[in-house]
Structure 1
Amino acid sequence: MKYQTKKKALLLLADGTIFYGKAVGNTEGTAFGEVCFNTGMTGYQEIFTDPSYFGQLMVMTNAHIGNYGANNEEVESESVKIAGLICKNFSYEYSRPDTDGSLQEFLTTNKTLAISDVDTRALVSYIRDHGAMNAVISTRVDAIDELKKELEKVPSMVGLELSSKVSTKEPYYFGKEDATYRIAALDIGIKKNILRNLAARDAYIKVFPYDTSFAELEAWDPDGYFISNGPGDPEPLKEAIQTAKEIIAQDKPLFGICLGHQVIALANGVSTYKMYNGHRGINHPVINLETGKGEITSQNHGFAINREQTEAHPELVITHLHLNDQTVAGIRIKNKNVFSVQYHPEASPGPHDSAYLFDQYFEMIREHSKKDILV
C-alpha cells in the first residue's frame, strides 16, 4: 500500500542532533534505544529478529528495505527484537514469490515502530564520527524538549544486562532425540540458525535459560557445551561467567559465539570494553592466524575483549583477528577443549566461510569422547 501523505517523524540523538523522516505505515509512536547501523545488503528480517539487537534502533544502510517482503521461516527468534527501524526507502510493495506478506505487515504485527525517508548516508557518517549513542525515534515531532528529557532517562548500554530479556524461561529441545551427540546450549540470546547448524551435524540440543548453573547443564549428560550470542554488556552476566569457569575447569568441550565468546574471555580474567561503533554487517574480513586463511564474516557486536590482556594470558591463544581494526575475533585455551569466536559462523544473513567452525567443534567433541573411553 502506498501513502500519499506520510506522517512526519524524527530521530533524536543523545547529543541533540536531529534527523527528520516519515512514519512507515503512518503509524504513531515513540521508541528508545542505542542507535547502530548494519551494512548488510540482504537479510533484513533475520537482522530484525536477532536477539543480539535487543534494545537497539537499527539503521539499515541499504537504500531499499522491504522490497522482498517477509517470510515466516526467515526469523532468528519468535519476534522482532530491535527497538525500532530507521531506513531511507521503505518498500510497501514487494516482489518475491516465496513470501508470506509485506515487511510492513510483519513490523505492524510485532508492534515495531519504523521511520523512513531519513538521510541514512548522512546519519551513518555521523554515527561513525561520533560513536554509537542512545537515541529516540518518534512521530511527536513537536515535542522535542519532552523527548530530550525522556531520552536522558534511558540507561547506557555499558553495564546493561539484557540476556534475561531474550533468553528462554524454560529449557527446550531442538533436533532429533536419537541424534549421535547431545549439546547443552546456554541461551543468552541464541539465534535459531545456530541451533539449525548444530542439529544438521547430528546433534540433539537442550537449550537452557541464561542463568543456568553448570550442575544443571551437566545433569543432562551432554557431549558438549555451547554458549550463545546475545545482547548487552557481557560483564553483568555473573551466572554465565561462573558456568563457563566450571565447564572450563572440567575440561568439557565448549564453543562460544559472540557474547558467548566474551563470557569465555571474562571467565579467564580478560576484560571487555564497549566499542566506538561495533561491527554489524555481513562483509567483515577476518584472518585465521592458525591456517593463514582469510574469511568474510557476518558480525554483530558492540563489545570486544581486551587484546593486550589476551596476548599476556599464559593459557589463551588468539586464533582470529578482525582485519579492519585488529580486534580479537577468536581465541582458544591451551590444552583445553575450549574455543570461541566474536563473529557468526552460522551467518543468516551472510557468507558461509566460517561454517567449518561447527565441524571443528564436533571434531573436538569426538576427540574428547575417545579420551574418555581410553580413561
Structure 2
Amino acid sequence: MACRVYHAELAQVQDHPRLAALLARGHADGPFDRADWLSLLAARAFSGAHAFLAVAEDGDGAVLALPLVATRHGLGALANWYSFWARPLTDAPERAEAMLVALARDLARHGALDFAPLPAREAGWMARAFRTAGWVVAVEPAHVNRHMALDGQDFATWWATRPGALRATVRRKGASGAVQCRVGTAFDAGDWAAYEAIYAASWKPAEGDPAFLRAVAQGESAAGALRLGVATLNGQPVAAQMWSVEAGTAFIHKLAHRQDARGASPGTLLSAAMFAHVIDRDGVRAIDFGTGDDPYKADWMDQARTRWRLHAHHPAAWRHWPALLRGLVRRAAGRSRLAPPPADG
C-alpha cells in the first residue's frame, strides 16, 4: 500500500492531530517517546542542527514517525545520554516495516544514518526496512538496559527476593535512624538545589546538561509524574534521586550520594524507599534502570536487555563511501553484528 511521506517540525506537531496523539503523554510508553521530550532535546542538545520527524502515513490511516536530527555527517537519532531509548513510533506495529521502507527511500539523499539506542523489535524493523530500500546496514549492541517486571508483587514480596547482603545493609544501616528518606511528588527548588549539590560532591562526572534535567523535572512535576527522593544524614542532604512514573513504569533517571557519607549507605537506603514508594503507592508494573550495566544494578534488577545501534549507508551517496568502506572492512573482520537483533523486548 502506498504511503504518504513528509517531514514535520517538532514545533508543528500539534498541527498534525494524528502525530500529536501518537507523541502525547498517555499514549507514549515513556518520556522518550513524547513530543515535549523531543522538543526539549532539539532545543538544548541539538540547537545547531535540524531536528525533525520523518513521517509516513498509509491509506488506512496508520502513521509512523521517526525522530531524527540532520548533521554534516548524515542522520542520527534525536536522542542523547538522557534517553533510555530512541525508536520509530507508530500506531500500527504490524505495518511499521512497510512505512519504514517508504521513509528509507525518501531519506536516501542524506546518505548515512547512525541510530541508537534502539529496542530490539524496532532495531529489527529498521534493519530490514532500510536493507529493502537499498541501504547497507549493520546492527550492533549499543548498551545494556537493566529492568524488571513486578508481576503483581507488592514491595515486601519483591524485597524478600533481593540479595541477602542488600537487605542486611538496609536493615543494619536503617536501624540507627541517622538517615532519613523522603520522596516528593512535586518539584521543590530546595530539594533540587540539594540534588545538584549532592551530585557535584558524588563520584559521578559533571552533569551533561543541568538545565535540561531541571526542565524535565519541572515538566514531570506538572504532570504529577515526578518522584524526587532526598536522604539526609543528621539533617544534612547526602543522597538524592530523580525518578518519573508513566504508563505503569518507573524510570530511574538520576541518583547520587555524597562520597563523604558513603559509610552510612544513604544511597542504598534511599533506593529502598524509592522502590517501596513506586511499587506500593504508585502501583507500577515495571521499573527501568536506564542505560549502563553497572554491577550494583543487578542487586535491584532481575533482567537485562540489549539496546542496539543501527549504522546504515546508501551506496548512491558518494561522499559517504569512505565510511561505508570502513564498515564493510569491519564486517569482513567479524566485528560488526549483521543479523537483525533477537526479539528480546
Superposition TM-score tier, normalisation by shorter sequence: under 0.3
Name the structure with the higher helix share: 2
TM-score normalised according to structure 2 size = 0.27
Bigger RCO of structures 1 and 2 (CA < 8 A, at least 6 apart): 2
